[in-house]
Structure formats: structure tokens, C-alpha cells
Amino acid sequence: MSRALAAILIAMLLGPIAWMLAASVLPENQIFSGAPIQGLLHASFDHYRALFDERGFLLPIRNSLIVAGLTTIIALPCATLCAYALARLPMRGKGLFLALLLAVSMFPQISVVAPLFLVLRATGLIDTYPGLVLPYVTFTMPLAVWLLTGFFRQLPRDLEDAALIDGASRLRVIRDVVLPVAAPGLASTAILMFLYCWNEFLFALSFTFGPEHQTVPVAIALFRGRYQIAWGEVLAGAAVATLPVVIVVLAFQRRIVAGLTSGAMKG
């Protein structure tokens, strides 16, 4: 693939983000004027300052990180084990199980919100971290299981079979043989889950009451006044909000690479 094509692609992906960053340092009335370049002469970090001084933006970032992190930490192992069982182990009714699981995740959030609110309220989980983590885990699990099942099925059985014949127990096989090779799939799924929580708006808006537990999308939604959107702060908030994600993703990069090399050496 030519370098030029690669550069174009990356530019397309990053273009709007660059625009966003540029606009976030413009004074408010320049943002819609169609000429951000000229406006950059008046650039300032006012919006960023307002973000932290007036809006206390660190709080929603912290909440998003906690909720997304907890969801991923809880859901990924459960989904991985379940997917492995569906891919490799004998079980009755696999098809039905997968279908039911899929049905759950296909259910539109919008209709689930009101009854789920009632359930969470009855269990006293409204405006708590578990109150968000539980729905998130429930709704990311099916897709994760589906994805990982397909992924496990695709892995060649030779390595596992060889280890099993050698006398290793199933659990050891999973830990030492399967997981390292499955690392790319696991990392992809983890990123998927993390970003689902990061982006999710409807549940976060409905199940939290105050800044103590509200996540980034909700906080940004609160920047909208009755008629006005505090554009400068929304853009600055978006810029700041992507930073933790970039760091997390960079961390996962190493996982993918590490998983591959260790798998290659074992194989």
C-alpha cells in the first residue's frame, strides 16, 4: 500500500479532529464564521480554563474511566470464558444460547431505559457506579461473546490438541496456549467494550443524577443551554476527553504486539 494512500486515510480520519482542536482555541463567535485560519490569530486557552475552573471537567473524566474500566474488567473475562466454551467445549443448545444472547443485545436501548430505571431504582443502584456498570456489562457481553466465539473458532486447534494430548488440563491449555494467541482478539474486544462505555449517552443520562457519577457524554450534554451550545467548551471538552482513551489504546497496543510475539515463540 502506497505511503500516499496511507497518509490520505489518516488525514481523513484526523482532519475533523484537527478542525476541532483549532476551533477549541478560537473565540466563540469565530467558530461559525467559516474561517478558522484567520481566527487562530486570536487563539487562547480560555475554553480549556473554563472547562476545569467552571465546569470541573476532571470529574466526568474520572467517572467515565472508572465505569468503562470496571465494565471491561468484569465483562471481558466472563465473555472470554463463555466464548471459549461455545467454541471448543461440548455443550447442548449452543445455537439457542447464542441466539438468545444476541436477542438481548439487539434490544433497542430506548425502550429499555424506562423499565431499567425502575429496576435500578428498586435495587437502590441509581446514581452509583454499579448502576451504570451493570447495564453496560449486560449490553456489551452478548456482542463480545459473539465476537470472541467467532474468533476462537477461527484459531487452529492443533496447538490446543497437541497440548491436550501431552496431558495438560483444559485450564492450563487455555492459559498457556490459547490466551497468548488470542491476545489480538481479546484486545480488540476490550477496546470495543471500553469505547462503548466511553461513548454511551442514554443510560448515563438516565441513571445518574449529579456530577459525582455523570460520565463525559452527559457532562458535555450539560454544556448546552436552552438555546446556546457552549461550543468552545464542548470542543475543548472533547479534546480533553479523548486523551485518556488515547493513553488506554496505546497501552493496549503493547498487549497486541506482546501477545503475538510470545505466541510465536511458544509455537
When asked if residue 135 is in the footprint of another protein (CB under 8 A), the reply is yes
CB of 6 to another protein, least distance (A): 4
Q: Which is nearer to another protein, 45 or 235 (CB)?
A: 235
Handedness of CA 252, 147, 85, 260 (dihedral sign): negative
CB of 210 to another protein, least distance (A): 7
Kindly identify the residues of this chain, within the stretch 50-69, that bind another protein according to CB under 8 A.
54
Q: Which is nearer to another protein, 66 or 98 (CB)?
A: 98
When asked if residue 116 is in the footprint of another protein (CB under 8 A), the reply is yes
Kindly identify the residues of this chain, within the stretch 138-177, that bind another protein according to CB under 8 A.
138, 141-143, 145, 147, 150-151, 153-155, 164, 170-171
When asked if residue 221 is in the footprint of another protein (CB under 8 A), the reply is yes
Q: Which of 171, 177, 186, 185 is nearest to 158 (CA)?
A: 177
**One of 112, 128, 255, 262 touching another protein (CB under 8 A):** 112
**One of 53, 106, 158, 166 touching another protein (CB under 8 A):** 106
When asked if residue 41 is in the footprint of another protein (CB under 8 A), the reply is no
When asked if residue 258 is in the footprint of another protein (CB under 8 A), the reply is no
When asked if residue 265 is in the footprint of another protein (CB under 8 A), the reply is no
Give how many residues touch another protein by CB under 8 A.
112
**One of 59, 195, 255, 262 touching another protein (CB under 8 A):** 195
Q: Which is nearer to another protein, 45 or 107 (CB)?
A: 107
When asked if residue 193 is in the footprint of another protein (CB under 8 A), the reply is no
When asked if residue 86 is in the footprint of another protein (CB under 8 A), the reply is yes
